[in-house]
């Protein structure tokens, strides 16, 4: 996922979309979203 996709995913999650739904939108596994969107992922 590129930076724009990550930002959009964050916004969708903030709006109340389910992780599975957002993951499906970007054709990624839900675990990928969790990994990309958590602060620990950049450590």
Where residue 1 falls among pLDDT bands split at 50, 70, 90? confident
User: Contacts from 26-29 at CB under 8 Å and sequence distance 24+?
Assistant: 26/1, 28/1
Which residue range is the domain that position 30 belongs to?
A: 3-42
Q: How far is C-alpha 21 from the geometric centre of its chain's CA atoms?
A: 10
pLDDT for the residue numbered 43: 54
Q: What confidence tens digit (pLDDT) does each residue in 12-40 have?
A: 999 999 999 999 999 999 999 999 878 76
pLDDT for the residue numbered 42: 55
CA neighbours closer than 13 Å in the CB half-sphere of residue 35: 7
- Domain count along the chain: 1
- Number of CB atoms found within 10 A of residue 11's CB: 11
pLDDT for the residue numbered 31: 95
DSSP H stretches of helix in 1-43: 3-14, 19-25, 30-37
Q: Which has more confidence, 41 or 4?
A: 4
pTM of the model: 0.78
């Amino acid at each position: 996922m590129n930076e724009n996709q990550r930002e959009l995913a964050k916004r969708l999650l903030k709006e109340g979309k389910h992780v599975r739904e957002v993951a499906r939108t970007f054709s990624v596994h839900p675990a990928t979203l969790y990994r990309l969107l958590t602060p620990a992922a950049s450590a």
